[in-house]
Amino acid sequence: MPLASNLQHQDYQYRYQTLQGVWRWTTRLDLAQTQPVYEVRDIVSPYGLLRDSVPLPGEIVQAMNQSIEELSQAFAPSIFASPLSMSFVVDEGRGFSEAQQLQVSNDGVYGSLLGVQFTTTSAYLRVSPVSLGGLAFNEGGVVDVTVDSTSLVAAGSPYAASVTLQDPRATNNPIVVPVAVTVRPKAHIGVAPDALTFVATKPLTGPFPPVPSQSFVLSNSGPAGSVLDFLIQRLTGCSEWLVDVSPLTGQISGGSTQVVTVTVAPPESLLVGTYQETLRISGYSDNAYVDVVVTLNVL
């Protein structure tokens, strides 16, 4: 048996008895396109094969249309979707979320062809692509679903929307996938202190003695429910004496803190003088970033 995805067309023979005699024709189900195409061909009247475009009796036209309707019902697709519900957690005003995948397949009969259109109930809910066509029996495809939180506010959370999957020919048309959207309020980055000063005495010979580590407290002083995904970077990147900042990344819930440890170890070649590096702590928040200035005084 050929695979449904390789099936190009199927022909079905029909006959209709009239007072004048028997009419015969072939109704072809063409599956080569993204949507099924039905064609009536090889029409034989009681008087022989029709070779010219001649008017057909109304009852014959009606019978031919009925043959097409019978085939469309006999080979109707069925929509299978997974998951049957979706949920997103997004930050207020941040923009597009990471995409989640919605899988769709044709759960209909062998020889059916599924073409799905996707629509959403809200402008902030997006589906890409907006259609999947030409899905034969047991064939499937994937679309990406995203949420644009640009205009969403935490005060209105949670939001409810849905994705509708439609194919008028499907036996279970339409399928509605509910989507729940939780919007988190914006975080606020805080640090204390915002400056650290280290002192190292350069020996006459050999390496510097160990310099005690220092730390600062990184906080998310945003409202409950906010989450700060932070990243710490050096602005100059030329501070070889600043050997470690830990942790460099992390996540802090609203009202919580994280201790960040800074370690310096001046190389033997470092001369007497004052050196500075700026640590920039950034993350999606209402204040975008804060800086911590790290100073090393070599005496």
- CB 187 within 8 Å of CB 112: no
- pLDDT, residue 29, reads 80
pTM higher than 0.85, yes or no? no
Q: Which residue has the higher pLDDT, 187 or 35?
A: 187
Omega of the bond leading into 46 within 30 degrees of 0 (cis): no
Q: Which of 11, 75, 20 is nearest to 42 (CA)?
A: 11
> Cα(18)–Cα(8) distance, rounded to whole angstroms?
33
3 has pLDDT over 50: no
Residue 76: pLDDT band (50, 70, 90) is: confident
**Range from 53-57, 91-95, 213-217 carrying the lowest mean pLDDT:** 53-57
Q: Which tens digits make up the pLDDT trace of 193-250?
A: 999 999 999 999 999 999 999 999 999 999 999 999 999 999 998 899 999 999 999 9
**Range from 57-66, 138-147, 180-189 carrying the lowest mean pLDDT:** 57-66
Rounded to a whole number, what is the distance in angstroms from the first to the last CA of the chain?
A: 87
2 has pLDDT over 70: no
Residue 35: pLDDT band (50, 70, 90) is: low
The number of CA neighbours under 13 Å toward the Cβ of 206 is 3
Edge-to-edge strand order for the sheet containing 140-147? 79-82, 100-106, 140-147, 125-128
41 has pLDDT over 90: no
> Cα(280)–Cα(293) distance, rounded to whole angstroms?
9
Where are any strands of DSSP class E within 223-272?
227-234, 242-246, 249-253, 257-264
103 has pLDDT over 50: yes
Mean pLDDT score of the chain? 92
Specify the 3-state DSSP secondary structure of 124: coil
Please tell me what DSSP assigns to residue 197: E
Edge-to-edge strand order for the sheet containing 175-184? 86-91, 175-184, 159-166, 113-120, 131-136
34 has pLDDT over 70: no
Sequence-distant (6+) residues with CB within 8 A of 51 are none
pLDDT (average), residues 255-270: 97
- pLDDT, residue 173, reads 96
- pLDDT, residue 249, reads 98
Token pair for residue 108? 């209909």
pLDDT (average), residues 107-136: 93
Q: Which tens digits make up the pLDDT trace of 142-184?
A: 999 999 999 999 999 999 999 999 999 999 999 999 999 999 9
> Cα(194)–Cα(198) distance, rounded to whole angstroms?
14
- pLDDT, residue 1, reads 33
Q: Which of 115, 97, 117, 119 is nearest to 106 (CA)?
A: 115
- pLDDT, residue 12, reads 84
